[in-house]
Amino acid sequence: MSMNAAVGAGRWTPLRVVKGLVLLGFAVYCLVPLAWLLLAPTKTDAQLVGGNPLAFGSFDQVLLAWRHLVDYNDGVLFDWIWNSVVYAGGSLLLSVGSSVMAGYALAVSRIPGRRALLVLTLVAMMVPPTALVLPLFLEINAVGLTNTALSVVLPASFYPFGVYLAFIYFSTSLPRELLEAGRLDGLSEFGLFRHLALPLAKPLMGLLAFFSFVANWNNYFLPYVMLSEESMYNLPVGLGAVISGTPALNPANGGSFLPITRPEVALAGLLVVAPIVVVFVVCQRYLVRGILAGSAKG
Amino acid sequence: MTADLKTGGPGAPAPRVTRPTPKASKRAHRRWDLTGILFLLPYLLLLLVFGLGPAGYSVFQSFVDERGGTGDVGFGNYAHVFADFRFWPAVGNVALYLGIWLPIMVFGVLVLALMLHDRASRFSGAMRLVFFLPGAVTGSASVLLWYCMLEPSLSPFGAGLRAMGFTSGNDVFANDNLVVVFAVIAFVTGAGQWIVIMYGALQNIPDELLEAAQLDGAGPLRTALLIKLPLVTKYVLYMVILSLANGLQLFVEPQLIYGITRSAGSPWWSLNQFGYALAFQTGDFGSAAVISMLLLVLCAGAGIVLIRRTDFLSTEAAR
């Protein structure tokens, strides 16, 4: 309906028809795989291969796939879910906290070496975290922390992108006069942050939390390298282990006595993806506004 | 002026002593600095331990040759890596992957963002959300999903794949196709986020400019190409450099595709895979550090180019 409303607003020109077709075509390309993933656990493996790819199977089949998945290595799935929550939640708190504080300090206070620190932060922001994973492993190994939650949570809390965003935010949206006024009213330096800066920074923290959560929930390489025990994996690494360690996706590689087949794997994939999709849909409006604000100011 | 004479020559810094309440303001600043440093401390610690630390450690490790048990300092690890039969193919694979993916990305994101921006509507808003959604499926989940999407017997796009001559998964996941497969996956996964950012950048173009173009008789196509496009080049550069840095790290896709198929690719198809294999299969962390160094230098170099070419620190100048 909304499409009709939009198109009806003007004339049909060849350009607009082409435009609409391209946009809709790409939308199909985006949505069909997601729809497939959502439907796959409702079907049996045979139905997946033989039937209509976008048909619905039955809820009983979802339940069956879920039971098989839970049975996999004595319920290690629950460990993975819990680990994912702990790892993503822990790094979210630490990364958002440290970057909001640092961004605030960089924006409003006089610190020796401030500009050098900003440049360093920018460079660090350009270096994807995966580039440092191997030396990080040696470092973590040297202090005997490999295969612990800390080995994933702490490195993932280093969040230069968040510091940069917070710095931009506070240097553009926090009027200096407000701080001066707060000071005259007798607020301490910490009070200024607590009562003036933080309430203003809610949209910023939402944006940082969003990016941090998405990145850390999906984190693969760092936990893959740090964690050696299956029960310590997060969901993405666990899913990776299932799809490369069992012939579920590629039965041609040999049979298996495990009841882990494609519907089970798809259900596991859905577990990884679902929280992110929910967060995306809920945050999309704010996100566009946030990025917009960021780009208007940056 | 008198203060100037008192404190020294004309080049001396502006004296603070001439301010009305010198002592009070000075003390305030000093206390402020301390709070600022306290606020910075957690980040500084993280930067030191998980940023500079491992970076410095890889520099060190890459120059210490421990394969012979001697711990020689020099370029031994570098020579060893460059002579390894797996190194240059991995460089080639990653370069080709970037060479295919980045142009598709730039072209696709710009075309779609300009189309969406042509006319604000609920349709455009809905499309932005739809394009954004595949970004939710990354890492191992995206390998799982796209493996199935490209396997003709499972895929809703099966008819299209068969029409293109791919009748089985083995046809698609052939070694020659892998770079294209990874580029397609990366494009669908990443495009939406950049479309949203690019759209935001387009929104920042002043309305008067677009109205003036319209009055001058520019149609939507000319407005898009001659007015909007040049105004968002900064964001294109930003996108290219960040994507380049991320693309260099390619790991999970080739690792898992090899794990699933056991025939497409190899455990050292990409640079990061090769580094991982060096470290954890041969225990040769010195050579693995060479790979880390290479990736680090390329990413940091790209980052520095970006900072120098754009106004990343512009808020600094405005202060």
pLDDT band at B217 (very low <50, low <70, confident <90, very high): confident
Name A43's bridge partners. none
pLDDT at B251 over 80: yes
**Amino acid code (one letter) for B109:** V
**Amino acid code (one letter) for A63:** L
- Same domain for A15 and A114? no
| Mean pLDDT, range B161-166, rounded to an integer | 91
Round to whole Å and give the CA distance between B271 and B288.
10
Contact A48 B46 (CB under 8 A): no
Contact B47 A124 (CB under 8 A): yes
- Same domain for A144 and A228? yes
A33 → closest Cβ in B40, B145, B303: B145
- Same domain for A122 and A88? yes
Contact B112 A23 (CB under 8 A): yes
Spatial CA neighbour of A274 closest among A58, A37, A40, A57: A37
Superfamily for domain range B77-309 = MetI-like (1.10.3720.10)
Spatial CA neighbour of A134 closest among B57, B246, B84: B57
CB A90 within 8 A of CB A153: yes
Q: Which residues of A touch B316 (CB under 8 A)?
A: 115, 118
* The residue count for chain A: 298
B319 → closest Cβ in A37, A128, A171: A171
B292 → closest Cβ in A33, A48, A132: A132
Of A131-135, B102-106, B136-140, where does the model show the most confidence? Answer: B102-106
The verdict on residue A49 lying in a domain is yes
- Same domain for A78 and A172? yes
B141 → closest Cβ in A7, A32, A239: A239
Name B73's bridge partners. B64
pLDDT, residue B26, reads 47
**Amino acid code (one letter) for B121:** S
Round to whole Å and give the CA distance between A274 and A239.
14
What residue in B sits closest to A190 (Cα-Cα)? B35
pLDDT band at A119 (very low <50, low <70, confident <90, very high): confident
Mutate to test the interface with A, among B144, B261, B296, B314 (most CBs of A within 10 A): B144
Spatial CA neighbour of B220 closest among B118, B117, B109: B118
Integer CA distances (angstroms), A35 to A28, A29, A185, in order: 10, 11, 57
Contact A269 B155 (CB under 8 A): no
Mutate to test the interface with A, among B39, B63, B111 (most CBs of A within 10 A): B39
Cβ within 8 Å of B, A 207-266: 214, 218-221, 224-225, 236-237, 239-240, 243-245, 249-250, 253, 262, 265-266
Which positions ≥6 away from B196 have C-beta within 8 Å? A287, A288, A291, B128, B131, B132
pLDDT, residue B314, reads 54
- Same domain for A24 and A78? no
Q: If you write DSSP's letter for every residue of A281-293 in order, what string do you get?
A: HHHHHHHHHHHHH
Round to whole Å and give the CA distance between B270 and B250.
6
pLDDT tens-digit profile of B259-270?
A: 998 889 999 999
- Same domain for A151 and A20? no
Interhelix angle A14-39/B139-149, rounded to 10 degrees, is 110
Cβ within 8 Å of B, A 154-183: 154-155, 157-160, 163, 167-168, 171-172, 183
Q: If you write DSSP's letter for every residue of B17-77 in order, what string do you get?
A: GGSSSHHHHHHHHHHHHHHHHHHHHHHHHHHIIIIIHHHHHHHHHHHEE-TTSS-EESSHH
- Same domain for A142 and A204? yes
- Same domain for A184 and A247? yes
- Same domain for A6 and A95? no
DSSP structural state of residue A41: G
Backbone angles phi, psi at A13, to 5 degrees: -110, 160
pLDDT, residue A254, reads 67
Q: Which residues of A touch B143 (CB under 8 A)?
A: 240, 243
CB A83 within 8 A of CB A199: no
pLDDT tens-digit profile of A46-79?
A: 898 888 888 898 999 999 999 999 999 889 999 9
The verdict on residue A66 lying in a domain is no
Contact B141 A48 (CB under 8 A): no
Round to whole Å and give the CA distance between A266 and B156.
15
First-to-last CA distance in chain A?
A: 37
Neighbours of A137 (CB within 10 A): 22
pLDDT, residue B32, reads 53
Q: Which two tokens stand for residue A78?
A: 């629950």
CB B316 within 8 A of CB A115: yes
A111 → closest Cβ in B40, B138, B143: B40
pLDDT, residue B12, reads 38
A282 vs B: CB within 8 A: no
Q: Which two tokens stand for residue B292?
A: 């880390």
Listed by start position, the domains of chain B span 6-73, 77-309
Q: Cα angle vertex A266, ends A156, A280, to 5°?
A: 50
pLDDT, residue B313, reads 54
Contact B32 A120 (CB under 8 A): no
The verdict on residue A297 lying in a domain is no
Spatial CA neighbour of B192 closest among A277, A95, A268: A277
CB A106 within 8 A of CB B47: no
Residue whose token pair is 């790209």: B302
- Same domain for A264 and A227? yes
Residue whose token pair is 């012939």: A247
pLDDT tens-digit profile of B19-69?
A: 444 444 444 555 557 888 899 999 999 999 999 999 999 899 899 887 777
| Mean pLDDT, range B266-287, rounded to an integer | 93
Round to whole Å and give the CA distance between B137 and B252.
13
Spatial CA neighbour of B145 closest among A262, A255, A44: A262
Round to whole Å and give the CA distance between B97 and B271.
12
Q: Cα angle vertex B227, ends B224, B231, to 5°?
A: 105
Query: Distance from B276 to chain A by nearest Cα, in Å?
Result: 7
With a pLDDT cut of 70, the percent of chain B lying above it is 86
H helices, E strands: number in chain A: 16, 0
CB B149 within 8 A of CB A45: no
Number of domains composing chain A: 2
- Same domain for A36 and A91? no
pLDDT at B272 over 90: yes
Spatial CA neighbour of B204 closest among B117, B112, B106: B117
pLDDT tens-digit profile of A14-48?
A: 888 888 899 999 999 999 999 999 999 999 988 98
Domain range for residue A194?
72-292
Contact B285 A219 (CB under 8 A): no
Which positions ≥6 away from A130 have C-beta within 8 Å? A221, A222, B249, B251, B272
Q: Which residues of B touch A168 (CB under 8 A)?
A: 315
